[in-house]
Amino acid sequence: MDESLYDEFGNYLGPDLEDDEDDLEFEQEQEQDEADFDANYDQQQQQQEEEDEVMEEQNALMRVDDIPANQIVLHEDKKYYPSAEEVYGADVETMVQEEDTQPLSEPIVKPVEVRKFIVSEKNLPETRYSKDVPINVDQPERYTDIHVLERERGISIKSMPMTMVMQDVNEKSYLLNVMDTPGHTDFLDEVVAATRLADGVALVVDVVEGVMVNTEKIIKQCIHDGLAITLVINKMDRLILELKLPPNDAYFKIRHTIEEVNSVIRNTPGGENVRLSPELGNVCFASSQTGWCFNLKSFARLYADSYGKQDM
């Protein structure tokens, strides 16, 4: 190692170690770059001038909007926050209210209100049959439940009067006013109001459930008002389809239900002499869902019509 090229600390002092060839190439490149740059520069200068002209024209139009950053802004003109419209957009209605301008009883955001009214017969399509008569389709027509809620829940809520022309056994026509009342205990008031108008009562009792609390209340009300009661043992189909009872058991079940009603009547002041019994003609058996109803007399006639006259 040539020591003269290094100082006492070992630092290199000699001439540059870079290749001379590299240097030459580098210099040539630089010269070329400079020439290119000069040519480009003239072109850019020209472009720049053209652009400047356009910008100046635009600036002349936009000058009003360019507020210098150091401009003095009055206190009342100062804007710290964006406005509601800027935040939510022009198509959103924003409302700023003083405290307590709206009473507490009124909700700030009102719930969506869907008004539910009665189901009325309007704009029905033209049909070949008369719409005056309730028509049974697959589902029994809830003809007296016209309120949307009644249809939805499947129970009667309001009393519903109907006027029908009905024939008696001698085929004499009568105008019959029927008031269908709700059976749920919450709506007993509807029943009480209806009993004031009625001459008689058709008491519909579920044969399986028998006398419920509300049935008892209604029976007492009817006896109190001195109304004649006809007992309709309803949902007879349940004995067959649901409970699948043999005829003998079904008979005892029906008898028990009738007896339950009779015992309530007996225990009500004024009802001591009232008795409901199929042989007295004031009890009938029905299945409103399957659409049939009979009492002993009508069933006997049906039997006689089917099997010929019998001694009974």
Ligand X SMILES: Nc1nc2c(ncn2[C@@H]2O[C@H](COP(=O)(O)OP(=O)(O)O)[C@@H](O)[C@H]2O)c(=O)[nH]1
Name the residues that contact Mg ion, by CB under 5 A: 156
Q: How far is the CB of 156 from ligand X (least distance, A)?
A: 3
Binding partner of 253, given Mg ion, ligand X, none, CB within 5-8 angstroms per partner class = none
Between 257 and 287, CB nearer to ligand X: 287
155 binds ligand X (CB under 6 A): yes
Q: How far is the CB of 189 from ligand X (least distance, A)?
A: 15
Token reading at 47: 């472009």
Chain positions 285 to 304 lying near ligand X, rule: CB under 6 A, are 287-289
Burial string for 248-278 (b: 16+ CB within 10 Å, else e) reads eebeebbeebbebbbebbeebeebeebebeb
Between 35 and 197, CB nearer to ligand X: 197
DSSP state of 82: -
Token reading at 198: 């009625």
Give the span between the Cα atoms of 225 and 200, in whole angstroms: 10
- Single out the residue of 238, 257, 282, 284 in contact with ligand X (rule: CB under 6 A): 238
- Single out the residue of 15, 154, 247, 269 in contact with ligand X (rule: CB under 6 A): 154
221 binds ligand X (CB under 6 A): no
Token reading at 169: 């056994």
148 binds ligand X (CB under 6 A): no
Give the span between the Cα atoms of 285 and 296, in whole angstroms: 9
235 binds ligand X (CB under 6 A): yes
156 binds ligand X (CB under 6 A): yes
| Contact status, residue 201 vs residue 229, Cβ threshold 8 Å | yes
262 binds ligand X (CB under 6 A): no
Residues near 137 by beta carbon (within 8 Å), at least 6 away in sequence = none
Q: Whose CB is nearest to Mg ion? A: 156
Between 142 and 224, CB nearer to ligand X: 142
- Report how far apart the first and last C-alpha atoms of the chain are (Å, whole number): 147
Token reading at 180: 């269908």
Give the span between the Cα atoms of 88 and 184, in whole angstroms: 51
Q: How far is the CB of 218 from Mg ion (least distance, A)?
A: 13
Beta strands 292-294 and 160-167: pairing type?
Answer: unpaired
Residues that bind ligand X (rule: CB under 6 A) add up to a total of 13
- Residue 168: phi, psi to the nearest 5? -90, -175
Placement of tokens 């009492």 in the chain: 295
Chain positions 56 to 95 lying near ligand X, rule: CB under 6 A, are none
Between 164 and 302, CB nearer to Mg ion: 164
Tell me which stretch binds ligand X (CB under 6 A): 10-18, 110-118, 164-172, 180-188.
Answer: 180-188
Chain positions 269 to 288 lying near ligand X, rule: CB under 6 A, are 287-288
Between 183 and 278, CB nearer to ligand X: 183
Give the span between the Cα atoms of 135 and 215, in whole angstroms: 29
Instruction: Dump the DSSP string for 250-298.
Output: HHHHHHHHHHHHHHHHHTSTT-TT----GGGT-EEEEETTTTEEE-HHH
Q: How far is the CB of 111 from ligand X (least distance, A)?
A: 28
203 binds ligand X (CB under 6 A): no
Interface residues with ligand X (CB under 6 A) are 154-156, 182-184, 234-235, 237-238, 287-289
